[in-house]
Structure 1
């Protein structure tokens, strides 16, 4: 590699590190405090305190713009790294078993969500593209699904912003609501992991909610959620076909773009889980990696809390919020009903 290229790459790396360090340091500090709280009050864990502290800071005084890059880095990339590390808790066989077990619940709740988004969204007068974004965000995986589908249907940036803000509100609510429902229904960690993985919108909130319920629930919920995330691909392809029939496909969905729809952290999670199936790590090393993932989760949730923008939620208006609330409740209800019918909820 030419020396000039190495110099340029090094300069860009230094710039990026300098850019993200202040915000990431704030998130790490919040995670450290949240971890101490979690050790003192084990039933609370570190996830909930991290997001509560972050939201409180954002509401009292929105973080300065110079912290934005580091907060975004923590909320997204560090969370994805945490998900990859969670693969050390699982094997390939367990992933296949969980995926098959979750399919009835996952597919039922997704079908109900997408149909309701179309019908109820139309009744409420929510624009077609916006209701599609809220539907896939609620039914599949929050902001990731919205980002993947937006170019396929030609959504405007304002519509994407409104959809993400709507989904984000229910992500935060899920952290308080889902553990309460789990305890009310006396769910074991296995059942709660299935419930959280199929009914909570975003990967970050699934991780937060399940980690509050326990390590056993966390591993199961993450696998269910990642299987659910794969639905981005067929849904995006289906929407591309619909848009093509309308004669207004904003971006042609090539095989290369289809491959790019699969999140890198999902691939990383599977690679780690496969390696974990065949390579015996020392017990201490595995414990360190798992503890590291828990701390990264707290750091990411601090970033998510700090990203709270109540003004964006207000700008979205009441109709998208009402649609998001209805879909959220329908997905929860459908998941619980199918779990009961299939015997997953005793």
Structure 2
């Protein structure tokens, strides 16, 4: 009975704030489907418009719950999108080149942040979001970086920036890659490796051709599969001294373990298609709700004070990935290492 009382009090303390974030997520989804715009962006904007609710004691617990616990669960469920068979079908060149571009972009974000006077954590956050899978990667990486007064503001800015840049890329990149006289396979690779968010990769890929879309999605899934690796490396790099001094060993975030476990189970065919679809849908809704919560926690006034350097890191990291991808395809294609 005592445990039931504790559980009831826990849920009651978080019910109002969670309800607020769920309503914002539902409204964002409706607006996104009606206007054909990114749902993450609507969730952020609507959340920021409700910032005053974060000053209400009755809502704070639920908003924090959505921006942390639901976020981690949503990231873990992303593992249902990926299987090892899908990744191996890309070929050895793609399996080597894609992680190399992800690592290079992550380092570029870090270097650009230092060059423009931003924090190392912000550079890694932007670099990871650009390199891997946009808003989802930003949320996952933010969960293991040190938490401070600027962390949530930087996370929100990163989600806004990469979502906007990804939408622009969805429109511009297919035209650019076609103008470069690339083959369908090369265009698919370029779209999959250089556009941030999964939804925009799907839109850009299949708008070109079915063959291009298939390659783009598989390459994108490879980038998503690298998310737990990057998160784990950053978790180890930023682990607290107490994580090892108390004899407990290295702390691995549970949601990283969950992602890898679900991906492994999916790879051996133990997850039915209907369950995989349900996991993907649940993950999407949890991440939308988490972003809505982050929006509620952050004010527009605080974002306006960030300066042009923040946007500079995001834009230059995006351009770095684009130019590196195009150069790689041109070089490997001309030498016969990457099929045309």
Q: TM-score range by the shorter chain?
A: 0.5 to 0.7
CA contact (8 A) 1:58 1:308 kept: yes
Q: Provide the residue aligned with 2:158 in structure 1.
A: 167
| Map 1:84-123 → 2, pairs under 5 A | 84-95=76-87, 101-111=94-104, 113-114=106-107, 117-118=110-111, 120-121=112-113, 123=115
CA contact (8 A) 1:179 1:212 kept: yes
CA contact (8 A) 1:117 1:135 kept: yes
Q: Provide the residue aligned with 2:66 in structure 1.
A: 74
CA contact (8 A) 1:117 1:327 kept: no
Structure 1-normalised TM-score?
0.66
Task: Report the secondary structure of 2:53's partner residue.
Answer: coil
Decide whether aligned partners of structure 1 residues 295 and 135 sit closer, same or farther in structure 2, where only a CA change above 3 A counts.
closer
Q: Provide the residue aligned with 1:3 in structure 2.
A: none
1:137 aligns with 2:136: no
Q: Provide the residue aligned with 1:154 in structure 2.
A: none
1:292 aligns with 2:282: yes
1:192 aligns with 2:206: no
Paired residue total:
308
1:141-181 CA distance string (max 9 Å, x none): 43554564549xxxxx3454564455344234235333224
Decide whether aligned partners of structure 1 residues 158 and 26 sit closer, same or farther in structure 2, where only a CA change above 3 A counts.
closer
Task: Report the secondary structure of 2:86's partner residue.
Answer: helix
Q: Provide the residue aligned with 1:32 in structure 2.
A: 26
Kindly report the root-mean-square deviation, in angstroms, between the aligned alpha carbons of the 2 structures.
4.3
1:115-150 CA distance string (max 9 Å, x none): 5744x55554x2xxx432222112224355456454
In the alignment, structure 2 segments of 5+ residues that lack a partner are: 129-136, 179-183, 207-212
Decide whether aligned partners of structure 1 residues 85 and 163 sit closer, same or farther in structure 2, where only a CA change above 3 A counts.
closer
CA contact (8 A) 2:76 2:256 kept: yes
Q: How much does 1:224 deviate?
A: 1.3
Q: Provide the residue aligned with 1:176 in structure 2.
A: 167
Separation in 2, partners of 1:163, 1:57: 16
Decide whether aligned partners of structure 1 residues 298 and 109 sit closer, same or farther in structure 2, where only a CA change above 3 A counts.
closer
1:33-70 CA distance string (max 9 Å, x none): 454556667xx37xx24531541452376434343433
Task: Please identify, of 311-320 and 281-290, the stretch whose mean Cα deviation from structure 2 is larger.
Answer: 281-290
| Map 1:234-313 → 2, pairs under 5 A | 234=233, 251=241, 254=244, 259-260=250-251, 262-280=252-270, 283-313=273-303
Decide whether aligned partners of structure 1 residues 28 and 319 sit closer, same or farther in structure 2, where only a CA change above 3 A counts.
closer
Separation in 2, partners of 1:71, 1:211: 31
CA contact (8 A) 1:207 1:221 kept: yes
Q: How much does 1:230 deviate?
A: 1.4
1:327 aligns with 2:317: yes
